[in-house]
A and B are shown apart, each in its own frame.
Chain A
Amino acid sequence: MYLVTNAAKCTGCQICQTFCSLSHSQVIAPARARLLVLRGEGDEITQPLTCQQCQEAWCAEACPVDAVHRDPTTGALVVEEAACIGCGACERACPFGMVVVNKETKLAEKCDLCGGDPLCAKMCPTGAIAVINDSEEALTRSRQGVAELQASLPSLLAQITGETVEIAAGNRGRKKGVTALVGKIRDRQVARPLVTATAPAGQQAWGATPTLPGNKQASGVAVQDAGAPRGTSSAGNRLDPSSPYQGRPALPMPLTELPPGHLRILSSSVAPVYPCRYQGYAGRYLRVNLTTLEIKALPLEESLAENYLGGNGFGTKILWDEVPADVEPLSPENKLIISAGPLAGTLIPNGSRVEFIAKSPLTGIYGDANAGGFFGPELKFAGYDFIVLEGKASRPVFLMIQDDLVEIRDALLLWGMDTFAAEATIQKALGDDQIKVAGIGPAGENLVRFAAINVTSQRSAARAGLGAVMGSKNLKAVAVRGTKGVKVAKGQEFLEFARQTHLRLRNNEIFPAVSRFGTPGIAALMNLIGRFPTKNFQFGHFEHIDEIDAEALRDKFFVKNLACFNCPVACDKIYRVNEGQFAGTTVKSLEYETLNAFGAGVFNANLASIIKGNDLADRLGLDTVSAGRAVSFAMELYEKGLLTRAETDGLDLEWGNYETVLALLKKIAYRDGLGNLLAEGVRRAARAIGRGAEYYAMEVKGQELAAQDGRAQQSMGLAHATSNRGADHLKAFPTIDETGYPNEGRRRYGEAYLPEIVDPLSNKYKAFLVKDGEDYGAVIDSLGNCKSGGTFVMAELYWDDMAKALELASGMPVTAESLKRTGERIYNLQRAYNIRHGISRKDDTLPRRLLTEPSPSQRAKGHVVRLEVMLEEYYRLRQWDPATGIPTRAKLEELGLAFVADFLGQAR
């Protein structure tokens, strides 16, 4: 038997590693898997590296006690644990770094082909790892594999790590280089100190040498200089000259030129480990005061887990408890909570999510945003459920977490950089390209009210302007590196259940199209039903859709599929513009929302410019939805004569002028001229402009509308009106009625709700659909899972599944009913938080255009959003006062929120 790999099919999801590690090591930790996924070159390389079960078995030959045997049935080289003495001879002998001595058990670990049924191959959703069963062919392929790896691995590793190694066949002494490098990628250096060498003096390129703000040793660990050279660096890694990073040296700058003191540690702490009754959780969290530079690691309260799950549930409760109504969102008193849920970092698809929660500078109420990628799992692997960031640093800083070691570091060097450059600089300066970074760009620094937090240069936590909250705290980034892994309560059962959920997703009839096209795949369909906002929601249909839809994107720009952690869907794609004005622009994801915001929304049919806009927004740290709406708002005002050329800094705001779109993105991020006005969001901008501009501000509660014209899908109208973070489709995320999915409607809700519940133009049952979605969404956002990975899109996993997943992972008794109650609790607490800020029924509304201007487009022609009829039913189902929209005491008490009723002064 032999495992054959195909890099071209690998999406980098690490499903092989997560299943392998739980199966073999009883912990979910890619680092503990017996195979690796190599990743580099801006994620354009994603490649599985497996044991070759070499015929010339160097590991077996090297073993002094003959503990490595070949299994006669499978041909696998297997370590006999009883005989292994943990000397490491096999580890040193393996030319490919595929044998590792476990530092805890002191036993050698390597791939045993799972006794003949390799889980990695079984779980790989793309066939990037496949099994050769025929023994003759397996022998041949193994020999070929060894030869190919010997030829290709050194250059591949050099490409990924920037370090040079050689493999000399048959000379074991010289193979250490590869083993060490693979080991480094494998995350084995749990105790490896961060680089502490001092940069050469006298090469200070710019700015003042950082000085420490007061308590240099806040947590008792000496302040060190750090961030100095490791490996080689050259002018080759300079940024593209068109980068928005302006007026500073191109970065990442050669590390030998780092000014002394930059990135140095201002405060550090070694976090203690706390026992936790529940698995799935790390059992501890961080509280970091950026004013005092104090870092505290504290035990997770079990009652918090029981009542609020994790993710945005935790964030909601902390906001309620600690950030009262009089706190300004951009003041030091606001708090930013970064929270992964109990299923983040686990095998349940797709436990990739991390939540950011704070009071929103855009809406002034509850704000959250979440992102996939790898940051959330990494936070869990480092051993933290969440981080509370409070106060304000006196100068730019970033938080660096490496397992138990937590540091606040100087970020003056990073301030002003775009998000990608900052991430690359942190990784290079600290000598570890596996560091996961969540950070802000110039938009966040300049307190743009819809600034995003860019997460691992692949995803963005974009909505609600939480990037500005980071900027207001002088917090450039949070960087995390974790090697501990996540434990689950019932390992074997959990693994089997997770396996089933993956197979269900992969067998879902919608899976192939979602996988192949990602969210852009719905653009043409939504256009056809008149739901695709065009010219700032004047229309729901874009006549040039063929030029910007998923098919055009795939035909002209597709490079490869890219997954978030543990996701079989891989809806991210790398797209690259190969020719023309924007040649060379590469993005790692481009969503439906961005296609609309920078495309139809502004009447732009130039797809390459949309890709460029996406790249620019990611680098600048802007929410593409709000930024696009800000631009389309300005364009409509220009069309209507409410903005004149004299007020646009000379920009031509004609519909479809993509040069203007790109220029405005930069002006917004740097708060320049008209950009400064738009950076406030369309609600504030409209009030400042006056002259009736409010009518064209497409927002709810201050947040700009995403790309769902509710006139074509009534449930989306209601969803935008009621969402706790202002206009938003993702809280309720009604998908089954987009184009009518009767089978799923039947399965989830029962025959009685058909056909209306799946009819996008019907109002019937839509309040029920939205309420259920909001409660379920609150749970998904709290568990750490993704709504595009089977819970909403594809609608495969529902209450029962998530209850079972949580119970098996945590050991907490959970039922679908108890989980529903928890979702409702979290949603009601968010609502109550908003009530504290003056929100009431009057705010649960939509822009007048959607309520009074009949849609001119497609099937939606003649329809407005019939909001009131849905709202009445919605309040009734929620047991909120229909006059005020405030949750009743009875409802709050039922949900265990009596303290909220007391706070709101509700009579008993």
Chain B
Amino acid sequence: MGQIKVSIKYYNLLREAAGQAREEVTLTSPANLLDLLLHLEKQHGEGLGRWILNEGKEISPAVRIFLNGDTPGESQALQDGDEVALFMAISGGSAGVPLSTSY
């Protein structure tokens, strides 16, 4: 158990939902990506949470996560100093999850 610092970079809708382009969060180790997203939801509320987590509080299939420039597995453990980039998917396919229209 220890504290790790992870820097987050938000893109597109997530930047607007988080109200910032970057931030640094402190997590209790061990932590994986889901732990990170749950932490972010707690910190920013439903405005961000509705995009990154589904109703079952799993990682939304519409969110794209890069860890240090690569695509990680969901259970990959985070390390101190990691850089995470978070996007909403913006091309490709759909999982058919209904979301309200918002311009």
Residues of A within 8 A of B (CB): 9, 11, 125-127, 504, 506-517, 521-522, 524-525, 528, 549-551, 561, 568, 570, 735-745, 747-748, 793-796, 858-859
**CB distance B89 to A748 under 8 Å?**
no
- Please give, as numbers and ranges, the residues of chain B lying within 8 Å of A510 by CB-CB distance: 62, 88-94
CA distance A515 to B102 in the complex (A): 8
**CB distance A859 to B93 under 8 Å?**
no
Q: Which residue in chain A gives the minimum CB-CB distance to B92?
A: A741
B1 at the interface (CB under 8 A from A): no
Q: Which residue in chain B gives the minimum CB-CB distance to A794?
A: B94
CA distance A125 to B103 in the complex (A): 9
Of the residues A507, A517, A570, A739, contact of B92 by C-beta under 8 Å: A739
Query: Hey, what's the 0/1 contact readout for B35-67 against A, CB within 8 Å counting as 1?
Result: 000000000000000000000000011101010
CB proximity to A under 8 Å, residues B56-103? 60-62, 64, 66, 69-71, 85, 87-99, 101-103
CA distance A522 to B87 in the complex (A): 9
CA distance A738 to B61 in the complex (A): 14
CA distance A839 to B94 in the complex (A): 37
If A507-B99, A511-B99, A736-B93 touch, does A516 touch B13 (CB 8 Å cutoff)? yes
**CB distance A512 to B99 under 8 Å?**
yes
- Please give, as numbers and ranges, the residues of chain B lying within 8 Å of A747 by CB-CB distance: 93, 96
B26 at the interface (CB under 8 A from A): no
Contacts beyond the supplied A736-B93, A794-B91, A859-B69: 20 A-B pairs with Cβ under 8 Å: A126-B103, A509-B94, A512-B13, A512-B102, A513-B12, A514-B91, A525-B87, A550-B12, A551-B11, A741-B61, A741-B92, A741-B94, A742-B61, A743-B61, A744-B93, A744-B95, A747-B96, A748-B93, A794-B94, A795-B93
If A9-B103, A126-B103, A561-B103 touch, does A509 touch B62 (CB 8 Å cutoff)? yes
B21 at the interface (CB under 8 A from A): yes
B15 at the interface (CB under 8 A from A): yes
**CB distance B90 to A509 under 8 Å?**
no
Instruction: Report the minimum CB–CB distance from B7 to chain A (whole Å).
Output: 14
| B21, B69, B94, B103 — most chain A CB neighbours (10 Å) | B94
Q: Which residue in chain A gives the minimum CB-CB distance to B71?
A: A740
- Please give, as numbers and ranges, the residues of chain B lying within 8 Å of A507 by CB-CB distance: 96-99
If A525-B87, A741-B89, A859-B70 touch, does A515 touch B94 (CB 8 Å cutoff)? no
- Please give, as numbers and ranges, the residues of chain B lying within 8 Å of A125 by CB-CB distance: 101
Q: Which residue in chain B gives the minimum CB-CB distance to A788?
A: B91
**CB distance A551 to B12 under 8 Å?**
yes
CA distance A647 to B27 in the complex (A): 58
CA distance A506 to B97 in the complex (A): 10
Of the residues A512, A524, A741, contact of B11 by C-beta under 8 Å: A524
Instruction: Report the minimum CB–CB distance from A201 to chain B (whole Å).
Output: 52
**CB distance B12 to A738 under 8 Å?**
no
If A513-B13, A515-B101 touch, does A744 touch B94 (CB 8 Å cutoff)? yes
| A9, A549, A743 — most chain B CB neighbours (10 Å) | A743
Main SS at interface, chain B: loop
Main SS at interface, chain A: helix
CA distance A510 to B91 in the complex (A): 7
Can you list 15 A-B pairs with a CB-CB distance of less than 8 A? A126-B101, A127-B101, A507-B98, A509-B99, A510-B62, A512-B99, A512-B101, A513-B12, A521-B12, A521-B90, A528-B69, A549-B11, A550-B12, A570-B103, A743-B95
Q: Which residue in chain A gives the minimum CB-CB distance to B63?
A: A509
**CB distance A739 to B89 under 8 Å?**
yes
- Please give, as numbers and ranges, the residues of chain B lying within 8 Å of A794 by CB-CB distance: 91-94
If A9-B103, A515-B101, A551-B21 touch, does A528 touch B85 (CB 8 Å cutoff)? yes
**CB distance B93 to A735 under 8 Å?**
yes
Instruction: Report the minimum CB–CB distance from A25 to chain B (whole Å).
Output: 27
The 9 closest A-B CB pairs, nearest first, are A744-B93, A741-B93, A741-B92, A743-B95, A795-B93, A509-B62, A507-B98, A521-B90, A513-B88
Give the interface residue-count category, chain B.
20 to 34
CA distance A384 to B60 in the complex (A): 46
**CB distance B64 to A745 under 8 Å?**
no
- Please give, as numbers and ranges, the residues of chain A lying within 8 Å of B102 by CB-CB distance: 512, 515-516
Instruction: Report the minimum CB–CB distance from A739 to chain B (whole Å).
Output: 5
CA distance A740 to B61 in the complex (A): 10
CA distance A27 to B11 in the complex (A): 43
**CB distance B70 to A509 under 8 Å?**
no
- Please give, as numbers and ranges, the residues of chain B lying within 8 Å of A748 by CB-CB distance: 93
- Please give, as numbers and ranges, the residues of chain A lying within 8 Å of B91 by CB-CB distance: 510, 514, 522, 735, 738, 793-794
**CB distance A514 to B90 under 8 Å?**
yes
CA distance A517 to B12 in the complex (A): 7
- Please give, as numbers and ranges, the residues of chain B lying within 8 Å of A795 by CB-CB distance: 92-94
If A512-B88, A515-B101, A561-B103 touch, does A739 touch B11 (CB 8 Å cutoff)? no
**CB distance B71 to A509 under 8 Å?**
no
- Please give, as numbers and ranges, the residues of chain A lying within 8 Å of B97 by CB-CB distance: 507, 509
Q: Which residue in chain A gives the minimum CB-CB distance to B60?
A: A509
CA distance A11 to B89 in the complex (A): 23
- Please give, as numbers and ranges, the residues of chain A lying within 8 Å of B15 by CB-CB distance: 551
- Please give, as numbers and ranges, the residues of chain A lying within 8 Å of B66 by CB-CB distance: 528
| B69, B70, B96, B101 — most chain A CB neighbours (10 Å) | B101
- Please give, as numbers and ranges, the residues of chain B lying within 8 Å of A528 by CB-CB distance: 66, 69, 85
- Please give, as numbers and ranges, the residues of chain B lying within 8 Å of A517 by CB-CB distance: 12, 90
CA distance A568 to B64 in the complex (A): 24
- Please give, as numbers and ranges, the residues of chain B lying within 8 Å of A549 by CB-CB distance: 11
Instruction: Report the minimum CB–CB distance from B52 to chain A (whole Å).
Output: 12
- Please give, as numbers and ranges, the residues of chain A lying within 8 Å of B101 by CB-CB distance: 125-127, 506, 511-512, 515, 568
Instruction: Report the minimum CB–CB distance from B22 to chain A (whole Å).
Output: 10
Q: Which residue in chain B gives the minimum CB-CB distance to A560?
A: B103
Instruction: Report the minimum CB–CB distance from B91 to chain A (whole Å).
Output: 5
Instruction: Report the minimum CB–CB distance from B94 to chain A (whole Å).
Output: 4
- Please give, as numbers and ranges, the residues of chain A lying within 8 Å of B99 by CB-CB distance: 507, 509, 511-512
- Please give, as numbers and ranges, the residues of chain B lying within 8 Å of A736 by CB-CB distance: 92-93
- Please give, as numbers and ranges, the residues of chain B lying within 8 Å of A743 by CB-CB distance: 61, 93-96
CA distance A671 to B88 in the complex (A): 43
**CB distance B12 to A509 under 8 Å?**
no
Instruction: Report the minimum CB–CB distance from A801 to chain B (whole Å).
Output: 13
CA distance A126 to B100 in the complex (A): 10
- Please give, as numbers and ranges, the residues of chain B lying within 8 Å of A512 by CB-CB distance: 13, 88, 99, 101-102
- Please give, as numbers and ranges, the residues of chain A lying within 8 Å of B88 by CB-CB distance: 510, 512-513
Instruction: Report the minimum CB–CB distance from A650 to chain B (whole Å).
Output: 40
CA distance A524 to B66 in the complex (A): 12
If A525-B11, A525-B64, A551-B12 touch, does A508 touch B103 (CB 8 Å cutoff)? no
CB proximity to A under 8 Å, residues B1-47? 11-13, 15, 21
CA distance A745 to B92 in the complex (A): 9
CA distance A551 to B87 in the complex (A): 11
CA distance A561 to B102 in the complex (A): 12
- Please give, as numbers and ranges, the residues of chain B lying within 8 Å of A551 by CB-CB distance: 11-12, 15, 21
| A508, A514, A794, A795 — most chain B CB neighbours (10 Å) | A508
Q: Which residue in chain B gives the minimum CB-CB distance to A512?
A: B102
CA distance A127 to B100 in the complex (A): 11
CA distance A796 to B89 in the complex (A): 14
- Please give, as numbers and ranges, the residues of chain B lying within 8 Å of A513 by CB-CB distance: 12-13, 88-90
| A125, A513, A570, A745 — most chain B CB neighbours (10 Å) | A513
- Please give, as numbers and ranges, the residues of chain B lying within 8 Å of A514 by CB-CB distance: 90-91
If A739-B64, A740-B71 touch, does A525 touch B103 (CB 8 Å cutoff)? no
- Please give, as numbers and ranges, the residues of chain A lying within 8 Å of B69 by CB-CB distance: 528, 858-859
Q: Which residue in chain B gives the minimum CB-CB distance to A744?
A: B93
Instruction: Report the minimum CB–CB distance from A213 to chain B (whole Å).
Output: 49
- Please give, as numbers and ranges, the residues of chain B lying within 8 Å of A9 by CB-CB distance: 103
